[in-house]
Amino acid sequence: MIAMPLAFLDAFGGAIEFIFTPRESVGVQVEVGGLGQVSELLLEHVRLSAAAMAGGLAVALPVGLYLGHRGKAELLAVGIGNAGRAIPELALIAFLVAFVGIGFINVTIALIVLAVPPILTNTFVGVRQVDREAIDAARGMGMSEREIAMRVELPLAAPTIVTGVRTAAINVIATAAIAPLAGVLTLGDFILSRNVYGDEGVLAGAILIALLALVVELVLSAVQVAVTPKGVRLQRAAAEA
Amino acid sequence: MVATALSLAQNGSDFFQDRSESNCIRDDGAFCAGWVIENIDRYVQPTLEHLLLVTVSVAAGFAIAFAMAVASHRARWLVPPFIGVTGVLYTIPSLAFFFLLLPITGRGNLTAIVALTAYTLQIIYRNIVAGLANVPTDAKDAGRGMGMSDRQLLWQVEMPLALPEIIAGLRIATVTTVALATLAVFAGAGGLGPEIVAGSNITFRTGVVVVFVILVAMALAIDLLLLAVQRWLGRWRIAGEAPSRRKPRLRRLRALGSERA
């Protein structure tokens, strides 16, 4: 009974050792693990996720702002968020491998497909729930429609938009972990190629991916606090008091 | 139920013990309807397994989240730590979670169910808390005026009124879990995941399309079923707000946007 918890602690210890010190691979005689390879795969993981998020924001933000400002296509803007959740990540990557092709660009496009729905829906919803009086006041001050969208609706919707960005980022980082199936070597390679890295390498990969997701989530929640306009914060504090 | 799930068949069936007479696998076109018609029965068992994985995970997630919500309803100070803990579980990618659990629970369906359950907690818990918070004060005051105790108020007034939002949380959790459960193949669990990646399944186009369609259809079917339940349970709200149709819509949008604030 005492040996069991010790056994799994041992496994975690081995995984941490894998992260810091290179070792010989299970099959062929190559060096695997260690900070060198870890940072290489980590960098690729971040690069892929960042590219997908940039693409997702570039598509979803303007479309969501426009539709939200005009109040058009609610069914589409909200429905796409719901439909996005139903996309099976593994099947999406398989679809890519079977039909489109592998490689960095193809995987990035697939991940953009995952990133767009939550950002688009939250941008739309965020803009729609901006106080009508604030918009009327802006119009009364002589702002153009473009100025209203950029200087009133966007800042007031920012906290809700970042919520969507957080959802998208988590999903993208998680799915980037299976990108090695489509030929992009991310941290997921440690997990998926057990015959090369061994059990400790697999566990090391899991620890690294979990840490990466948690760090990104922490950073984005700090961003969320930073972009929340002072007025909205005061309003919320007043509502809670 | 977990025992049933554990006894499910493991993956690794060889896809290419093909009994069809067509040349679908050799040609590997974009989609081969003949192959699907001849082989559709091979997907029945994995589909049922997948459904079982999803059902057990969401049911366990609901039971835990519900207990947490009831506890934090009495002791409000529990809400931030509960949101924090479930938030961490929600953030850890499922694939990583499976392998973090491996040294503890070993390969198989149990690992998959634990990870998927942990993932649903945040979604369901947040919706129950939001549902309880959105109960109109008038209704609670009326209950108190009738001499209800806190317990009676919770079970006879607040919970019934919060049900539509609770079901909304279940919908999100279920649809997400249907998609995520495919990754359980990497934890050595069954379901539809093996039909995508086991052996050389991933290179057979028709097979990939079939599994994709089954998964999306499953998510859609469960979503519509729960939507019907949600509408039915929420019919009092529509009746109560019939004169102005704009408000409930705005509230619905708010609920969506604050899914995870």
Q: What is the ipTM of this complex?
A: 0.83
DSSP secondary-structure letter at B175?
H
pLDDT at B91: 92
Residue A184: domain span = 30-236
CB contact under 8 A, A178 and B211: no
Task: Report the distance separating Cα A33 and Cα A184, nearest Å.
Answer: 17
Which of B172, B256, B258 to mutate to probe the A interface, most A CBs <10 Å?
B256
Determine contact: B85 vs chain A, CB below 8 A. Answer: no
Proportion of chain A above pLDDT 90, given as a percent: 49
pLDDT in the model for residue B246 = 47
- Residues of chain B with Cβ-Cβ distance to A192 below 8 Å are 186
**The predicted structure's pLDDT at residue B28:** 67
Instruction: State the pLDDT at residue A96.
Output: 86
Q: Where are the alpha helices (DSSP H) in chain B?
A: 2-6, 24-27, 33-39, 44-74, 79-91, 94-105, 109-133, 137-145, 150-152, 159-180, 193-197, 205-233, 235-240, 246-257
| Residue ranges in A71-153 assigned as alpha helix (H) | 74-85, 89-95, 104-128, 132-140, 145-147
Band (pLDDT 50/70/90 cuts) for residue B117 is very high
The full set of domains in chain B, from first to last, is 39-257 (1.10.3720.10)
Q: Do A209 and B186 touch (CB under 8 A)?
A: no
Give the bridge partners for B257, in sequence order.
Answer: none
Residue B54: is its pLDDT beyond 90?
yes
Residue A153 lies in a domain: yes
Q: pLDDT for B154-212, tens place per residue?
A: 999 999 889 988 998 999 999 999 999 999 888 888 888 888 877 666 777 888 888 88
Q: What is the pLDDT of residues A113-147, one digit of tens each?
A: 999 999 999 999 999 988 888 899 999 999 988 89
Does position B13 have pLDDT exceeding 50, yes or no? Answer: no
* Interatomic CA distance for residues A97 and A116, integer angstroms: 21
Largest CA distance in chain B: 75
Chain A positions touching B95 (Cβ under 8 A) are 174, 177-178, 188, 191, 206, 209
pLDDT at A56: 96
- Asked if B96 and A177 come within 8 Å (Cβ–Cβ), the reply is yes
Residue A4 in any domain: the answer is no
Q: What is the mean pLDDT of chain A?
A: 88
Q: Are A210 and B92 contacting, i.e. CB atoms less than 8 angstroms apart?
A: yes
Contact B257 A213 (CB under 8 A): no
Side-chain-side CA neighbours of residue A25 (13 Å) = 13
**Cβ pair B261:A177 closer than 8 A:** no
CB nearest to B257's CB, from A122, A174, A203: A122
Does residue A14 belong to any structural domain of this protein? no
Nearest to B93 among A85, A122, A173 (CB): A173
Q: Which of B95, B126, B134 to mutate to test the interface with A (most CBs of A within 10 A)?
A: B95
- Whole-number Å distance between alpha carbons of B172 and A239: 28
Examine residue A129 and state whether it is found in any structural domain, yes or no: yes
Mean per-residue pLDDT, A169-177: 94
B chain contacts of residue A195, beta-carbon cutoff 8 Å: none
- pLDDT band at residue B44, thresholds of 50, 70 and 90? confident
Q: What is the pLDDT of residue B69?
A: 95
pLDDT value at B6 more than 50: no
- What is the reported pLDDT for B39? 77
Q: In this complex, do B211 and A94 lie within 8 Å of one another by their Cβ atoms? A: yes
pLDDT at residue number B191? 85
Model pLDDT, residue B7: 33
**Nearest CA-CA distance, residue A76 and chain B, Å:** 13
Contact A125 B186 (CB under 8 A): no
Instruction: Tell me whether B205 touches chain A (CB under 8 Å).
Output: yes
Is A162 a residue whose pLDDT tops 60? yes
Contact A192 B202 (CB under 8 A): no
Instruction: Tell whether B239 is within 8 A of chain A (Cβ).
Output: no
**Can you give the pLDDT at residue A116?**
95
Q: What is the CATH number of the domain that holds A219?
A: 1.10.3720.10
- pLDDT band at residue A23 using 50, 70 and 90 as cut-offs: confident
Using alpha carbons, select from B179, B172, B95, B158 the residue that is nearest to residue B126: B172
A55-109 tens-digit pLDDT: 999 999 999 999 999 888 888 888 888 888 888 888 888 888 888 888 899 999 9
B199-204 contacts, C-beta under 8 A, 24 or more apart: B199/B12, B199/B14, B199/B15, B199/B16, B200/B15, B200/B16, B201/A94, B201/B15, B202/A94, B202/A97, B202/A98, B202/A181, B203/A97, B203/A98, B203/B28, B204/A98, B204/B15, B204/B25, B204/B28
Q: Quick check: A125 and B253 CB within 8 A?
A: yes
Asked if B96 lies within 8 A of A207 by C-beta distance, the reply is: yes
- What residues of B are in contact with residue A88 (Cβ under 8 Å)? 178-180, 182, 212, 215-216
Share of residues in chain B with pLDDT > 70 (%): 77
Catalogue the E-assigned strands of A7-69: 22-24, 31-33
Please state which of the ranges A118-127, A168-177, B2-11 shows the lowest mean pLDDT: B2-11
Is residue A145 a part of any domain in this protein? Answer: yes
pLDDT score of B87: 92
pLDDT band at A205 (very low <50, low <70, confident <90, very high): very high
As a whole number, mean pLDDT of residues B8-33 equals 54
Would you give the DSSP letter of residue A31?
Answer: E
Please, what sign has the CA dihedral across residues B227, A119, A102, A184?
negative
In a domain, A98, yes or no: yes
Average pLDDT, whole number, for chain B? 80
Residue B94 touches partner A, C-beta closer than 8 Å: yes
Q: How far is A139 from chain B (nearest CA, A)?
A: 22
Q: What is the pLDDT of residue B74?
A: 87
Confidence of residue B52 (pLDDT cuts 50, 70, 90): very high
For the segment A202-214, the average pLDDT, to the nearest whole number, is 93
Query: A166 and B175 in contact by Cβ < 8 A?
Result: no
Contacts of B182 in chain A (CB under 8 A): 88-91
User: Over the stretch B56-105, which tens digit does the pLDDT of each residue have?
Assistant: 999 999 999 999 999 999 899 999 999 999 999 999 998 899 998 888 88
Q: Mutating which of A90, A97, A131, A132 best tests the B interface, going by the most B Cβ atoms within 10 A?
A: A90
Indicate the burial class of B1 (C-beta count within 10 angstroms; 0-12, 13-18, 19 or more): exposed
Residue A44 has pLDDT above 90, yes or no: yes
How many independent structural domains does chain A possess?
1
Question: Is B95–A170 a contact, with Cβ atoms under 8 angstroms apart?
Answer: no
